[in-house]
């Protein structure tokens, strides 16, 4: 799912925002990584209409957490070069871990229009969450 990968990349590019607050780039990264893993688990768990219907509120909740991460990322002070490099490498590792499962789930679900009809409203506009 190219949209999910784009979202992850955008989220981490936001870590260079200005401001401070009590958050750190590392904390936002950890939370966004957790959200991506959770979304992967949710999509992978959808196998029938009942699980698709059960997934919708879970997707909505993860999307809200992603939007919260995006807000927090904008307020985080830009990390030093070493931290930024470490986070970039960690981002690639998370992508390698999560994206194959998300892509496989998406392909599987796209072949089942009944399930996609249930999930589509919850997934629509996800690229705007960040």
Q: What is the pLDDT of residues 44-61, one digit of tens each?
A: 999 999 999 999 999 999
Among the residue ranges 1-10, 25-34, 111-120, the one predicted with the least confidence is 1-10
Asked if 8 contacts 95 with a C-beta cutoff of 8 angstroms, the reply is yes
pLDDT band per the 50, 70, 90 thresholds, residue 105: very high
Report whether pLDDT(17) > 60: no
Predicted confidence at residue 18, as pLDDT, reads 36
Predicted confidence at residue 4, as pLDDT, reads 52
DSSP 23: -
Do the domain assignments include residue 31? yes
Report whether pLDDT(127) > 60: yes
Q: What is the pLDDT of residues 67-97, one digit of tens each?
A: 999 999 899 988 899 999 999 999 999 999 9
> What is the domain extent for residue 16?
2-125
Q: pLDDT: is 63 or 78 the higher one?
A: 63
Do the domain assignments include residue 130? no
Do the domain assignments include residue 58? yes
Q: What is the pTM of this model?
A: 0.80
Asked if 42 contacts 109 with a C-beta cutoff of 8 angstroms, the reply is no
Number of domains forming the structure of the chain: 1
Contacts of 63 (CB under 8 A, 6+ apart): 122, 126, 129
Predicted confidence at residue 130, as pLDDT, reads 72
Do the domain assignments include residue 30? yes
Phi, psi for 47 (deg, rounded to 5): -130, -15
């Amino acid at each position: 799912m190219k949209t999910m990968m784009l979202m992850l990349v955008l989220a981490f590019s936001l870590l260079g925002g200005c401001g401070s607050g009590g958050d750190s780039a590392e904390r936002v990264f950890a939370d966004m990584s957790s959200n991506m893993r959770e979304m992967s688990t949710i999509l992978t768990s959808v196998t029938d209409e009942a699980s698709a219907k059960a997934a919708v509120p879970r997707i909505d909740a993860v999307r809200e957490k992603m939007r919260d991460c995006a807000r927090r990322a904008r307020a985080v002070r830009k990390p030093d070069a070493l931290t930024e490099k470490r986070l970039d490498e960690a981002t690639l590792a998370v992508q390698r871990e999560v994206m194959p499962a998300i892509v496989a789930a998406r392909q599987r679900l796209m072949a089942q229009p009944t399930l996609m009809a249930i999930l589509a409203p919850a997934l629509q506009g996800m690229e705007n969450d960040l």
